[in-house]
Structure 1
């Protein structure tokens, strides 16, 4: 059987990118036709992915990287830039193209892609790229709110109510409440600040139970002011609404 391209490529792996790069510069220098570059790359480089996956072939991936590199290097040279655009169009044209258009879109800059006709607008592409990057990297989803993890918070409310009704002075009950709260936070991945808010609610309901003070030690004290501030705001709004309703009545 014939040897695998991975085992016996005609161009050593360390020289493959340099080989394709030299071919590309030869095309830009009018020393080589784009179709000849296509055939030379197909013959010299493996036709399947370097890691054995279903991804782009090593020949296609290397060529896409070279097109990106050359397009950047000749960015301020209009004539050569136009030749790179023509080369890219030739290499991604047809069903049996060396480089799939999607591969160039993945690797190359927006302005170059627009010149190649692969995207309608580099400006629009950049805006879309920023939006996607922001959504993937910087947007913080509001997980674990009461409505999104109802089972975990329901169990927590039941545990806090049971603890509150037992009264203070029971060390075993305090230890059990601490253990239950920690377990529920960990198992259901509950938001600690939301749990802290519920502990405050329970403490308001059973203020004589000093065990809640021990339970509050689970949480970062620097968050207390913020959580309490929101609670006071809610109480103030409710009081103002009740007063306004009374005056209207």
Structure 2
């Protein structure tokens, strides 16, 4: 069990408030005096982290108060995101307290108290990764910014990948690049699948740079095979006269060799299919046998 936390002194989140918010009549309870928004939200988050209040009761708590800055109530999500970012960096919040912090973050998003974009912009990479592992917040977005729309985020992404692709990879550059990519996804609401496609395209240009082996595991393993499969299928279309680029075969082989994708998941997208391949083989063998039988006649 983690040692007790040194939480701030509660001015607004009193024992009476905690008791009322957890009671059956919580919806009817009202805090009598206006409270300062930032201080109240800070204490509320600490109450959840300490285990004094279940995170799902925070909506009831918010409904029970009037802020001194009531005209700024629409900024609650932004203030909560700042508080979570601060708590996420607190090294004393560990063990069960850390678990409660992650669960609280998930609950705030589910209750629509915070939009994921604010967390992605303000929280540290390590904490975002914890939240992503447990709630997939990092890649849950309701509307993605496609290439045909605002392109600034994608332009920054391509520039970044081309810069690091042409350089020698190192551990520091890998961690920095991962952090920047996550920030770009969050700040510009980029479609993670499209981002993954761009990562693979840059890997195709710079297959000797090992940094891509650290970037690709950020995305679901099955997505790599699907995106590569779509690329192969594109060149199989009758209206496409280009042949499959050698680089596409190369990165596919490299990803299979490194265990980042399964051969079977890519094999299904390749031509010819098994029946056509066997038919071609049988025809080839029959033709060669026929040619051999005519020798000397």
Q: Shorter-chain TM-score: what band?
A: 0.3 to 0.5
TM-score (norm 2): 0.32
The higher radius of gyration belongs to 1
